[in-house]
């Protein structure tokens, strides 16, 4: 349940930073850094351990270690409790202590790596794909980027446009799924069409094989329009962007 788990540093990097810190504190000591694959690690099996350093947050964990050691026939460890250092600069939504969770939150909005230069892609406009499930905030983020001057492409609106009479996918969809998907005015009834493909992977693929290439073509037209308007950044808001 950690926040921004995708930004947690890999174990190898965290262990290297820890070793560097410990050796700065006292280089004469030998440090054996062991990855934990369970809540206890070697603390409940190593008879040579004598002391366990805990914080005010982890004291109960230390007490649980001693309970396990007694069950395993080992002597209890001395629990040495340290105070957590407070972060004087923490914001309202961050932890009061110095915390890697807070550091990850501060990374939001920064580039993790420089943009990859692909010679096959034009340098302008710079196209950002914006994706996520329903309620994830795509529309709000797109609106904010639009206020900053980005050219917005709403894939949902394009998805509706491909189905309208005269639209690029209209004839193919009617031919594939029959006239029973049409309303009296000749428009495609999306609910009836949805019922035909719901739970049927083969029919769903038949539909997406028709619709998605047309949507991709419309997206590319919109990107060219952004370029014609001199826009530096183009944002594509699409729920199934990667698919």
Query: Are residues 98 and 130 located together in one domain of the fold?
Result: no
Give the long-range contacts of residues 72-79, CB within 8 A, separation 24 or more.
Answer: 72/44, 72/45, 74/44, 74/45, 74/47, 77/43, 77/49, 77/50, 77/51, 77/52, 78/50, 78/51, 78/52, 79/51, 79/52, 79/54
The CATH number covering residue 16 comes to 3.40.50.620
pTM of the entire structure?
A: 0.57
19 touches 31 (CB < 8 A): yes
pLDDT at residue 167 above 80?
A: yes
pLDDT level of residue 218 (50, 70, 90 thresholds): very high
| Residue range of the domain that includes 206 | 126-237
Tally of structural domains, the chain? 2
Residue 121 lies in a domain: no
CA 114 to each of CA 107, 110, 129, 183, 230: distance values in angstroms, whole numbers, following the listed order: 14, 10, 16, 50, 23
Cα pseudo-dihedral 55, 61, 67, 70, rounded to 10: -60
Question: How far is residue 130's CA from residue 96's CA, in Å, rounded to a whole number?
Answer: 32
Query: Are residues 101 and 131 located together in one domain of the fold?
Result: no
- pLDDT value of position 109: 82
Residue 227 lies in a domain: yes
- The helix (run of H) or strand (run of E) holding residue 180 is none
Question: How far is residue 29's CA from residue 32's CA, in Å, rounded to a whole number?
Answer: 10
Query: Are residues 25 and 94 located together in one domain of the fold?
Result: yes
pLDDT at residue 115 above 80?
A: no
Does residue 125 have a cis peptide bond before it, meaning omega lies within 30 degrees of 0? yes
Query: Are residues 168 and 89 located together in one domain of the fold?
Result: no
pLDDT level of residue 214 (50, 70, 90 thresholds): very high
Distance of CA 151 to the CA centre of its chain: 23
pLDDT at residue 144 above 90?
A: yes
Query: Are residues 189 and 230 located together in one domain of the fold?
Result: yes
Query: Are residues 82 and 131 located together in one domain of the fold?
Result: no
Query: Are residues 103 and 130 located together in one domain of the fold?
Result: no
**Phi-psi group of 199: left, alpha or beta (phi > 0 → left; psi -120 to 50 → alpha; rest → beta):** left
Query: Are residues 228 and 157 located together in one domain of the fold?
Result: yes
Chosen domain end from 79, 107, 135: 107
Residue with the larger pLDDT of the pair 53 and 121: 53
Query: Are residues 233 and 136 located together in one domain of the fold?
Result: yes
The CATH number covering residue 178 comes to 3.40.50.300
Query: Are residues 150 and 231 located together in one domain of the fold?
Result: yes
The pLDDT tens digits of the residues spanning 172-188 come to 999 999 989 999 899 99
Residue 222 lies in a domain: yes
- pLDDT value of position 224: 94
pLDDT level of residue 123 (50, 70, 90 thresholds): confident
């Amino acid at each position: 349940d950690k926040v921004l788990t995708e930004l947690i540093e890999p174990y190898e990097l965290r262990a290297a930073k820890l070793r560097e810190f410990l050796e700065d504190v006292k280089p004469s000591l030998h440090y054996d850094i062991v990855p934990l694959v369970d809540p206890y690690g070697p603390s409940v099996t190593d008879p040579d351990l004598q002391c366990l350093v805990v914080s005010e947050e982890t004291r109960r964990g230390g007490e649980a270690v001693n309970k396990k050691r007694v069950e395993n026939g080992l002597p209890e460890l001395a629990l040495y409790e340290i105070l957590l250092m407070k972060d004087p600069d923490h914001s309202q939504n961050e932890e009061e202590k110095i915390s890697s969770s807070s550091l990850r939150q501060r990374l939001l909005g920064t580039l993790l790596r420089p943009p990859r230069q692909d010679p096959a892609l034009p340098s302008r406009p710079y196209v950002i794909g914006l994706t996520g499930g329903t309620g994830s905030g795509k529309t709000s983020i797109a609106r904010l980027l639009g206020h900053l001057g980005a050219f917005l492409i709403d894939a949902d609106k394009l998805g509706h446009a491909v189905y309208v009479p005269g639209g690029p996918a209209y004839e193919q969809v009617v031919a594939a799924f029959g006239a029973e998907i049409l309303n009296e005015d000749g428009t495609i009834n999306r609910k009836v069409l949805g019922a035909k493909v719901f739970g049927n992977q083969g029919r769903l693929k038949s539909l997406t094989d028709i619709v998605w290439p047309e949507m991709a073509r419309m997206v590319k037209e919109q990107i060219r329009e952004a370029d014609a308007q001199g826009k530096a950044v183009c944002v594509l808001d699409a729920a199934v962007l990667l698919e």
